[in-house]
Chain A
Amino acid sequence: MNGPWFTFSFSDFSYAFLSVLLEGVPFILLGTLLSGLIDQFLPARVMVRFLPRNPFLGICMSAGMGIVFPMCECGVVPVIRRLMNKGLPLSNAVAYMLAAPIVNPIVALSTYAAFRGQNAADFTILRLGLGYFVAVLAALAVHNLPIGAVLRTGVMAVTGGGTADGRGPAGFLGRISAALRVAVADFLDVMVFFIFGVAVASLFSTAMNQEVILPLALNLWLATFSLMGFAMILSLCSTSDAFIAATFVAFPGVAKLAFMVLGPMVDLKLLFIYSSVFKKRFVVGLALGLFVLVGLLCVRLSVLNL
């Protein structure tokens, strides 16, 4: 191996750190602005009204609703909580919660941009398709569980806010102001986690001699599951995680795909946010199930030679 395994240079770190921040901020901002507008201008009953009564079709449709109502993983939990209070079935809510941060136009755009020149269309289609499929499978599993085993006590009793029940701010300017405040709160929250994630990613990508991780990157199973673990630790926003995934140049494409599919569904910050709505046992089971499922599916997709 040429050189030591770890050579930290603060100037290299700061350069990589800044470049990812500058690249990711526009996408996070776009996502949170949309989130604020949806929060204030989209009544929850609109989503419920258009869902099919057949549970399977309802889940399939809910998992695809992110295309019309995009939401990042940080903002989606308060939304599904409000939607469940308005009558959205639990399994539909889980499908939307898991899929919407991946299956939406902003993520499609950012994934395509991040992987430009590296099979961008393939990565984008596979990411959205696999995210949708995994969310539907998870929601079907949840459909068979009693609500008491999934939701924390008292969650359904909390009444919603915003405009959905008419308690929201009066007037267009008032709503814009409220939407702006939601967007700002979402943006600042996401940015705190994003900064930590980018810092860890920048440290990893600049200081570590990539020859050290080559054995890990060359083994399909190790590469896939280690990048999924890394996605959980980094807790990146789905609108910008593709830019970080694209920098893992030594890793196989399916490992990067697993990173981008699992991260928006399960990561450290989401485990805490999920715990505010779901029972801890369910959160742990969901995380483990998704980790294994996404890993196995991605390893299976290695036949595509991404």
Chain B
Amino acid sequence: MIASLQRYVSAGVLMVWGVVISYFFFSGRVGSYLHPSFHTWTVASGIILVLMAGGILFLPQAQDGCPEGECLHTFGGKTWWGIALAGIILVVPLLVTTVVSPSQFGAALVMNRGMIDSIGDLPGYIPYAEPPLPTEDGSQPANPVETQPTASYLPLNEAGQIKAQSVDLLYAAQEPTMREDFENKEVELIGQFMPAKSNNPKGDRFNLVRMFVMCCAADSRPVAVTVQAPTTENFPEMSWIKVTGKATFPTEAGRMVPVVVADQVTATDPPEESFIY
């Protein structure tokens, strides 16, 4: 009786996990949770879990791997309520969070983690290296830093504005070569609205936030660019907006910072890729 219950509960738990994980992949929702390099692992594990559930139910029952009196598995409980409790612990949090999770962080997280407004604070950032000086014969030595292509590599929108990412402007504030591509140029940025609670003496600024992800949403860091707009609408915190305007790089508090002087700020749908990598 207990062995059968354990078998069916195990298969049920595996099936729920497999179906939920597969759902995240096939619905595309996984893109809001994981770096793309993990997506294949995710769908593979979902399918394997479903197969394992089938295996537990339909493969011939051999002797348990854990001999009598030696089993340390907590799931191998000897009571029906122990097995039921383990099943609930394994299934309920997954299902509840799958239903409740909005697939994006709110303002509280951004405030708790703090916004990155300098590229040097971003994980994985490699500082800019000045190009080497010419050699004695006047020739240019091999440049260890890969030369940035000209601005032609930058994507443009239909109005001819550069479709930039917030992280591009942070890089540009740090790296002169890249800054030339953006400074005083018309740009279009999509991000999440956050009010500017500091460095906003005239009250005409807000932050445009994108989440920078290394592996999954849990390690994401809010990357913010300051936007200066003549009139700031009261968008809900962390709602998606599109900003078009001119990219500038004034020096504030002793360091160069990107400030987008906005012509237009409008609400928009979330982009297909909500993270930046």
Contact = CB atoms under 8 A, between A and B. Distances in A.
Given A23-B216, A209-B111, A192 B90 contact: yes
B275 to A, nearest CB: 11
Contacts of A183: 52
Contacts of B55: 177, 180
A243 B45 contact: no
Contacts of B111: 2-3, 7, 209
20 contacts: A14-B97, A14-B101, A19-B33, A19-B217, A21-B97, A22-B42, A26-B38, A113-B38, A158-B69, A160-B67, A160-B70, A173-B59, A177-B60, A185-B75, A188-B73, A188-B75, A189-B74, A249-B123, A249-B221, A273-B72
Interface residues on A, range: 35 or more
Name the residue in A177, A188, A201 with the highest tally of chain B Cβ atoms < 10 Å from its Cβ. Answer: A188
B114 interface: yes
A74 B10 CA distance: 18
Interface residues of B, number: 69
Interface string B26-56: 0000100110011001101100110010011
Contacts of B203: none
Contact of A192 (B69, B86, B108, B109): B86
Interface in A194-210: 195, 199, 201-202, 205-210
Contacts of A2: 111, 114, 197-198
Given A15-B104, A168-B63, 13 more contacts: A3-B112, A7-B112, A22-B42, A23-B38, A23-B215, A23-B218, A117-B214, A160-B70, A168-B62, A174-B62, A179-B65, A184-B56, A273-B72
Contacts of A174: 60, 62
Interface stretch (B13-21, B180-188, B227-235): B13-21
A29 B49 contact: yes
